[in-house]
Amino acid sequence: MTSLAPGSPNPAGAPLTASAAESPQAAPAHHAGDDHGGHVDARLFGLATFLVADGMTFAGFFAAYLTFRSVNPLPAGSNYELELILPTINTALLVISSVTFHRAGSNLRSGNRSACRSWLLGTVVLGLAFLAGQMVEYFNLPFGLTDNLFASTFYALTGFHGLHVTLGVICILIVWWQARQGGRISQQEHFGLEAAELYWHFVDGIWVVLYGILYLL
């Protein structure tokens, strides 16, 4: 019933015996887990938690968009239809870029640094292509930011996502630079690459959802 089995309760008046705590001075040597220098690496875990938070921002946007769409009719003459070809190509680019990033990671882990860097560059090119495609789409859309509720939501969602892609591309470039011979990222030390990769997959996943509800729905 209680997880706190009454171990050896303290006798009255002497509450601070070693019964409650193993003698703190028993082992002067620093534990691997509690030393400033080399404590548990929680960085990827922290990044994952942050991505959950970031995902909630998108979730809020999605929820708002879906509610607008089901409750608020658009003014006469506007509709929810969008040109599909370019965004579909864009989706494919982004999905492929996730694969190329993955290849970069596995190449680094198996020690093939130059292949890793090439795959990274490939990913950057795909990311930039996506952004370019996005720009082309923006300039060819029949509506502007404040034309109607759908237009505003469309730009807010894709814009916020595009910001994430831009950030991702910058991160990949940094990783690419650091993965050069003698850089910070190596076969042994690949946190930076893994963090960027996790982030990139996240941005990719968000896009797939976004594509589904914004373009296909």
Partner 1 sequence: MTVASPTDFEPQGLQPQGWLKYFSFSLDHKVIGLQYLITGFIFYFIGGALAGVIRMELTSPISDFVSRETYNEVLTLHGTVMIFLWIVPVVNGAFGNYLIPFYVGARDMAFPRLNAVAFWLIPPAGILLIASYFIAGGAAQSGWTAYPPLSLTTPAIGQVIWILSVLLLGGSSIFGGINFIATILKLRRPGLKLMQLPMYCWAMLGTSILVVLSTPVLAGTLILLSFDIIAHTGFFNPALGGNVVVYQHLFWFYSHPAVYIMVLPAFGLVSEILPVHARKPLFGYTTMVYSILAIVVLGLIVWAHHMFTSGTPPWMRLFFTIATSFIAVPTGIKFFNWLATLWGGKLALNSAMLFSCGFIVNFVFGGITGVALAQVPFDIHVHDTYFVVGHFHYIVYGGTVFVIFASVYHWYPKFTGRLLNEDLGRLHFLLTFIGFNLCFTPQHWLGLNGMPRRVAEYDPSFTTLNQVSSVGALLMAISTLPFLINVIWSAYSGQIAGDNPWNALTPEWLTASPPPVENWLGEAPLVTHPYDYGVPEGKIDLRVVSGADLWLGGKR
Partner 2 sequence: MSIPSTLITLLLGMGLVLVGLWVGQNVQLLPIDASSNAPVYDSLFQVLFSIGTILFLGIVGLVLFSLVRFRRRPGDLADGVAIEGNLPLEIVWTAIPAIVVLFVGIYSYDIYERMGGMVALNDHSAMHHSADVMQASAVPSAGISEGSDPASEPRVWAGIGSNGSNEGSMPVEVTAMQFAFIFHYPDGNITSGELHVPVNRPVELRMKANDVIHAFWVPQFRLKQDIIPGQPTVLAFTATRAGSYPIVCAELCGPYHGGMRSTVVVHEEEAFNQWFETNAPPKPAPATVASASINPTA
Q: Which stretch binds partner 1 (CB under 8 A): 1-9, 96-104, 111-119, 183-191?
A: 1-9
C-alpha distances (whole Å) from 201 to each of 10, 77, 83, 121, 139 are 53, 38, 25, 16, 27
Sign of CA dihedral 156, 159, 165, 166: negative
76 binds, among partner 2, partner 1, none (CB under 5 to 8 A by kind): partner 2
Amino acid at residue number 49: T
- How many Cα neighbours within 13 Å face the side chain of 197? 19
Distance CA 45, CA 194 (A): 11
Q: Which residues between 30 and 89 bind partner 2 (CB under 8 A)?
A: 71, 73-78
Q: Which two tokens stand for residue 170?
A: 């910058």
Minimum distance from CB of 78 to partner 1 (Å)?
A: 10
Q: Which stretch binds partner 1 (CB under 8 A): 57-65, 87-95, 186-194, 204-212?
A: 57-65
Amino acid at residue number 19: S
Nearest residue to 156 via CA among 58, 71, 56, 88:
58
Q: Which is nearer to partner 2, 147 or 194 (CB)?
A: 147
Distance CA 173, CA 180 (A): 11
30 binds, among partner 2, partner 1, none (CB under 5 to 8 A by kind): partner 1
Q: Which is nearer to partner 2, 21 or 53 (CB)?
A: 21
Residue the block writes with tokens 């996943």: 205
Q: Which stretch binds partner 1 (CB under 8 A): 8-16, 100-108, 188-196, 202-210?
A: 8-16
Amino acid at residue number 40: V
Q: Which is nearer to partner 2, 70 or 140 (CB)?
A: 70
Residue the block writes with tokens 């560059």: 121
Applying CB under 8 A, the residues found at the interface with partner 2 are: 1-2, 4, 6, 9-10, 12-13, 15, 71, 73-78
Binding site for partner 1 (CB under 8 A): 1-4, 6-12, 15-16, 18-31, 33-36, 39-40, 42-43, 45-46, 49-50, 52-61, 63-64, 67-68, 71-75, 145-146, 148-149, 152-153, 156, 160
